[in-house]
């Protein structure tokens, strides 16, 4: 079976682990347990085994360790719709990703869509779409748009990767 490495990146507590767990195990926890280093999970999508690297979020103390991104075929960038600054972060995160591993397919999750403080104004949204990213307003809590997020990324990777390069 084909295997592909993808990485979850974004600020701390935006819901990278929650989105991964919702997709992989269809589970969700209210409790916040911050990820240290990276947690690796896998799930099969359309005859492809996705190896999901759930990377520790960026915070004010430590930047993301880009070593974890090595060899990723695609990136899920995650922000928290209830914290506008995490949406702003996506742009610097994207630069960092490109610097480390070059251009790879990328989808964006603005998470916690279920939350009543969720807000994504037109200006923010336009700025994101102008980067050519697919934007998903996801909720790890309800599962809203979570399968779509990974499906679209997997399709995009399939479209750019020639078969010979894959393991």
Partner 1 sequence: MSGYTAHKGEYLNQAMVDVARIAKITRQLYERQQFAYLLVDHNWSVIEASANLENYGFGDVRVGDDAREAIDFLVGLDSHSTLDLPIVLSPSQNPVHIVLLPEDESLTVVLMDASRDYEQQQLVQQKANENELLLAQQRQLMADLEQTQAALVTKNTELREASRLQSSFLSGVSHEFRTPLAALLGYVDVLGERLLSQSQEESEEQLKVIRRSGRHLLSLVENLLDHGKFDAGEVVLNPQAIDLQGICDEVHAMLHQGAASKQIALEFDTTPTPLPSCLIDDSRLRQIMLNIIGNAIKFTDEGKVQVIAQCADEQFSLRIRDTGMGISKDDMQNVMRPFWQAPKNGKVGTGLGLTITERIVEMMGGQLKIDSELGVGTTVDITIPAPLIELDQPDINSNRAEHIGARRYLLAEDDPDIAALLKLLLVEQGAEVTHVENGQQAIEIAEREEFDVILMDLQMPVLDGYDATKSLRDRGDKTPVLVMTASAIEADRTRAEEVGCDGYLIKPVAVHEVLSLADELLQNQSAV
Question: Which positions touch Mg ion (CB under 5 A)?
Answer: 16-17, 35
3-state DSSP helix/strand/coil percent for the chain, to nearest 5? 35, 25, 40
Find all residues with CB under 8 Å of 30, minimum gap 6, and list them. Answer: none
DSSP 32-87: -----SEEEEEEEETTEEEEEEEEPPB-SS----GGGGTT-SEEEEEEETT-HHHH
Size of the site for ligand GTP (CB under 6 A): 22
* Site for partner 1 contains 36 (CB under 8 A): yes
Interacting residues with partner 1 between 78 and 117 (CB under 8 A) = 83, 85, 117
* Whole-angstrom distance, CA of residue 80 vs CA of residue 3: 29
* Whole-angstrom distance, CA of residue 86 vs CA of residue 89: 5
Pick the closer one to ligand GTP by CB: 12 or 133.
12
Pick the closer one to partner 1 by CB: 17 or 139.
17
* Site for ligand GTP contains 124 (CB under 6 A): no
* Site for ligand GTP contains 85 (CB under 6 A): no
Instruction: Out of 56, 87, 93, 140, point to the residue binding partner 1 (CB under 8 A).
Output: 56
Contacting positions for partner 1 (CB under 8 A): 3-5, 12-13, 32-34, 36-42, 51, 56-57, 59-61, 65, 67-68, 70-73, 83, 85, 117, 167
Contacting positions for ligand GTP (CB under 6 A): 10, 12-18, 29-30, 32, 34-35, 56-57, 111-112, 114-115, 139-141
């Amino acid at each position: 079976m084909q295997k592909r490495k993808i990485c979850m990146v974004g600020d701390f507590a935006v819901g990278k682990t929650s989105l991964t767990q919702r997709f992989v195990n269809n589970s969700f926890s209210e409790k916040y347990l911050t990820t240290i280093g990276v947690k690796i999970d896998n799930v099969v999508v359309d005859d492809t085994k996705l190896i999901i690297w759930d990377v520790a979020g960026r915070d004010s103390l430590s930047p993301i360790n880009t070593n974890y991104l090595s060899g990723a075929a695609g990136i899920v960038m995650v922000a928290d719709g209830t914290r506008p600054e995490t949406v702003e972060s996506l742009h610097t995160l994207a630069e960092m990703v490109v610097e480390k591993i070059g251009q790879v397919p990328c989808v964006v999750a603005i998470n916690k869509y279920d939350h009543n403080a969720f807000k994504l104004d037109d200006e923010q949204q336009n700025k994101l779409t102008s980067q050519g990213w697919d934007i998903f307003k996801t909720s790890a809590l309800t599962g809203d748009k979570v399968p779509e997020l990974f499906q679209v990324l997997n399709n995009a990777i399939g479209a750019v990767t020639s078969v010979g390069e894959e393991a």
